Chain A
């Protein structure tokens, strides 16, 4: 029992960090723009394949290319695809769903929908913590994820742009009146979100394997964390991702792995009913 509890705590925190960095862009964009960009998880999958394809040539330096590359791709996606239609959240929503499915189809053409690709880990050993075996690479991913999340939290509270990202959803009109360039800020959020998606793709894809379907479950996770944490809140993301991480691993360990998505979505639904602005979200208006 003790071993299982340790397992839930450690793996929950590791997954929480990975889910957190994968969700940052999605959640902040949702808060800033008032729309859901379903294409972001698909770019997460694209990032994972970029790592698979480039790592034979670039080795350990792959992420130095892929992370900024995916960041730029997300910025380009925002400027060319989202910006022209950002006035209509429903249009963005459906357009990005179609784009995501199109990206999946395109990737399936090149990589096939049935194969799983492996990302070579930086660290290949295991660590034993209280009789729980943990892959060193996964532990590294967890650490990197939490450093990134706390770094973002620091930036959001101590820099002008960070304060703008947090503040804009509370009063978009007011933000524009005082001269905030919302488009530029959104582009920056897309860029940072893309870099974090690449990090998530490296560690998450490295743990579970890379396939063209790998974006579907993270999309569920992104929706849940965004809902539970509250739109556009770094603190909310951090609280929600820990809840989701622990809940998921606990369900898998103590109940049945087959119902993990059901339980996680139930949490999101409960939050929507009883606290629709999320655990740490502020009222938008």
Chain B
């Protein structure tokens, strides 16, 4: 498959260097007719001939065998599959990329843009479906409309209504129409704020690092096989993604490096077998693999969605420091997570901070009715230092798929904590942990 592209690449690079076929053949020490056959992809080349041609063209041999075109090829292949267009000449894809690098890069870039737009739309759709603020606002508005609809119908269809009752109905309609107007204004303001802070709000415009994880579905199969040389794979990923901000690049490298380390210590095949055996109990798994509980959490969050033909439970993960600042997040579709600041103080993630090293297990229930099994633990960091106080890092792994593995008697024994996302958008009233009013309060 690659063979056909090598000749085309050689030809393109030769032309770019303004060399004739004869000149290049001479430099590489082969005949012009042989060079002609190579350039027209009629001869496969490798070894010494490939090296001498690459040297003559002053390029890395890899650029001729795979090069930067690899990603473009993959993207164009995906684009063709996406539209299921039978008229696309897939058998000539490599030739296209080799002959028209500018056009193929443009097509690949357009495809990438489409993918990103689709992800944003999906994020928006998920948000509308699960955003507690939106859900509560809709509920309030439907209640307002119900009163207006029903009461106005009564007034229109009932001939005789006692004066006091009539007055009461009019007052109710006035109150409900004011509430409706108020809720709509708040709703518009909420979405306006979201739009105006879009660049800082990765929920609608995910950061490149978020996109990186989402594109990989939080699973890096390249790092699951030690024989693939994880270090080289990490380098390749970082180059391909070209994180613009140095802070993001460092963070990405650290996280992917951590992934590689966890994958090495908790090999996927062995881990999944053990996880099923131990009913996804992270404590037992940490004992078996002689590792930290946080490593098991991290592994859970990066499991593939399917393994050996079976779907696996999906886990989300949030890690924060002692001040609640978010260090890592993997949201689930049904549970969005804060990007930087703290969430609902009732989350077990924060309770764990008050008792470092002690795991906390609980079911949490969101205002929209979804429930999740959570396991949290905070650990000390920077101990044994006279001058700098130690810090804590807390992590909470969670899943809504717990019915698949958690025995009923264990589920019943767990406390269920009714939580929110953050006070501003939480519809729960009479909450002892509330630190600010909900913007939906009438």
Q: Do A and B come from one complex?
A: no
